[in-house]
């Protein structure tokens, strides 16, 4: 398969690289320490067009390829995974869902604000007792005239305390199983919607993760995304793209680990020479490079399939599985190469180590990715 990048894709990769180095890298460690949301970085991303990469031009977006989005996310996550996940959820899960499943009315009302960065998007699928088993969600949406009244809670919502609009899933038929779930576009300013606990996290500390409570929130029926009862299908379709986004995040972290490890190994001397000259260190660096190259090809393949409109569920799961495991391995080895210094906050590898861990958990755990892949194989 030809993975030669187009001029547009090269341009967006370079734009994202400059944005990451110039706007995100300064202060990234301090924002992580303070658990400070990257408000200015997200504002700047909007100005640069990085908030609407997949949004059609008629709604103010760049209308670029999924591969272009992956390239941008790799560069940004290489520097600050908290900014990276904020942009990934916004582009892939929120904008992607509305663009793929929304009516012309929904698209015209929401995509221009999201693409410009005026509004930030979130994705509300999980609940306290409905994570990997998303089909067991209990949040209710009851029809009342021309509205739905939504009651319940959502958990683990990225940017939950900063998002202006959510793609939210609720049960419209309690007896229909997965076919009783419907997707909605919900504005967070709606009466009855409130932000709950902000989770104290191991990593991605500059990205906020919160509970969302809905107490009789009225949502117009015209804000149904897709069709009533089609929500589970919307969620699975959207998560295919989201998993490519998290794979891209993991690859960016891997690249950061290799870059930091090579720099340290050349500078750190033991037994009279740089540790880069010792074979055990060289083996670690070589293995990092191999995992990065393999992970990149898997992301490119899954992105290309999505861009062509072909089924890519297994390929997206494979890309996420390989890259998320690779990120955790590379981060662990980066800390090992740095020795005691890597365990301290003076070097960024301890942050990479913490940030990498979540990539094997959210948007489908490692175990779920294996299940998706195995089921695809067994279907033939």
Tokens 């370079």 belong to: 14
What are the residues facing 56 on neighbouring strands? none
Q: Residue 183: enclosing H or E segment and its boundaries?
A: strand 181-187
**E strand intervals along 221-299:** 224-225, 269-270, 273-274
Phi-psi map region of 35: left, alpha, beta (phi>0 left; psi -120 to 50 alpha): left
C-alpha distances (whole Å) from 358 to each of 121, 205, 277, 288, 363 are 20, 11, 33, 19, 10
Sign of CA dihedral 87, 294, 240, 214: negative
Query: CB under 8 Å to 18, separation ≥6 — which residues?
Result: none
Residue 7: band (very low, low, confident or very high) from pLDDT cuts 50, 70, 90:
very high
pLDDT tens for residues 132-158?
A: 998 899 999 999 999 999 999 999 999
CA–CA dist 355, 204 (Å, integer): 5
pLDDT higher than 80, residue 93: yes
- 372 pLDDT band, cuts 50/70/90, is very high
As given in the structure block, the two tokens for residue 34 are 């303070």
Query: 3-state SS of the chain: helix, strand, coil percent to 5?
Result: 60, 15, 25
pLDDT digits (tens, 9 = 90+) for 197-211: 999 999 999 999 999
Q: Which of 118, 267, 363, 367 is catalytic?
A: 363
**Across all residues in the chain, what is the average pLDDT?**
97
pLDDT in the model for residue 4: 85
pLDDT of residue 1 exceeding 90: no
Residue 75 among the catalytic residues: no
DSSP string, 240-260: HHHHHHHHHHHHHHHHHHHHH
Residue 2: what pLDDT? 60
For residue 66, the number of C-alpha atoms closer than 13 Å in the C-beta half-sphere is 28
Average pLDDT over residues 50-62: 98
Q: Which domains, from first to last, does the chain contain?
A: 7-120 (1.10.540.10), 122-231 (2.40.110.10), 235-379 (1.20.140.10)
Residue 60: the pLDDT is 98
Closest residue by Cα to residue 90 from 317, 242, 196, 244: 242
Whole-structure pTM value:
0.97
């Amino acid at each position: 398969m030809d993975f030669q990048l187009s001029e547009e894709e090269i341009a967006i990769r370079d734009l994202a690289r400059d944005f990451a180095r110039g706007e995100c890298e300064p202060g990234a460690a301090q924002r992580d320490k303070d658990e400070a949301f990257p408000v200015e970085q997200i504002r700047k991303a909007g100005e640069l067009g990085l908030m609407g990469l997949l949004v059609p031009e008629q709604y103010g977006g760049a209308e670029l390829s999924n591969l272009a989005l992956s390239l941008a996310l790799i560069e940004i996550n290489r520097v600050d995974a908290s900014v990276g996940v904020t942009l990934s959820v916004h582009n892939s899960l929120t904008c992607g869902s509305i663009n793929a499943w929304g009516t012309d009315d929904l698209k015209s009302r929401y995509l221009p604000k999201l693409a410009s960065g005026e509004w930030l998007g979130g994705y509300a699928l999980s609940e306290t007792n409905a994570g990997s088993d998303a089909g067991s969600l209990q949040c209710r949406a009851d029809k009342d005239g021309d509205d739905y009244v939504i009651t319940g809670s959502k958990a683990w919502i990225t940017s939950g305390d900063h998002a202006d609009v959510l793609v939210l899933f609720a049960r419209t038929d309690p007896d229909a199983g997965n076919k009783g779930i419907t997707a909605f576009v919900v504005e967070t300013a709606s009466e009855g919607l409130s932000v709950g606990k902000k989770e104290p996290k191991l990593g991605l500390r500059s990205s906020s993760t919160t509970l969302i409570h809905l107490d009789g929130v009225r949502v117009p029926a015209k804000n149904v995304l897709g069709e009533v009862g089609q929500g589970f299908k919307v969620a699975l379709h959207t998560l295919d793209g989201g998993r490519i986004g998290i794979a891209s995040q993991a690859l960016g972290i891997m690249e950061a680990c290799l870059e930091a490890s090579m720099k340290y190994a050349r500078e750190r001397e033991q037994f009279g020479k740089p540790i880069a000259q010792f074979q055990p260190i060289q083996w670690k660096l070589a293995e990092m490079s191999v995992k990065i190259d393999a992970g990149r090809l898997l992301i490119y393949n899954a992105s290309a399939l999505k861009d062509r409109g072909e089924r890519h569920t297994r390929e997206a799961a494979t890309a996420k599985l390989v890259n998320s495991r690779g990120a955790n391995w590379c981060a662990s080895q980066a800390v090992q190469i740095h020795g005691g210094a890597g365990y301290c906050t003076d070097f960024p590898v301890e942050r990479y180590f913490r940030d990498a861990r979540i990539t094997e958990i959210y948007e489908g755990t490692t175990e779920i990715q294996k299940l998706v892949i195995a089921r695809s194989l067994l279907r033939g």
